[in-house]
Amino acid sequence: MQAILKKQFIIIILPAVGLFLVFGLARELNFIKPGQFVIPSVMHSLLFILSVITAIAGPLFFRTLFAHSMRKQTRVPAKEFLSFQKKILWLSLITPYLAFTAVLCDFPRFYSAAIVLMALYAVYYYFPSQKRIDFDRKIFRVK
């Protein structure tokens, strides 16, 4: 199960890392100039809220829904648990792409720093380590 989740984690996060690397290189080579991509200021707070939703609130909501749907079962099937873990990965790893957008569009420092911190939190917390998977398996009584 851990290998499947790690593979999915890498598949989702690799393009975001690539975007950051290409963007950093383009900035260093002056292909992209600061202030080149400008979006309305209302989008700064909207993207910040979306990053909080995708990094914290959304996965917590899905976890609560999953726990509620499995409350009457004595054992949770491994297939359903794996599906739940994949959904949480997909949702939480949207945040690095939002962070890329914030950095690309030169958001004010507060918003860009907050969105990048949300992305780092999502990548760190939802990394499918054996310890976290075992803990979740124990909580949800996975077969």
Domain definitions of the chain by residue range: 2-27+51-140
Look up the pTM and report it. 0.89
The per-residue pLDDT for range 62-117, each reduced to its tens digit, is: 999 999 998 888 888 999 999 999 999 999 999 999 999 998 888 999 999 999 99
Instruction: Name the CA dihedral angle for 17, 19, 24, 29, rounded to a multiple of 10 degrees.
Output: 140
Q: Which residue has the tokens 């990548």?
A: 123
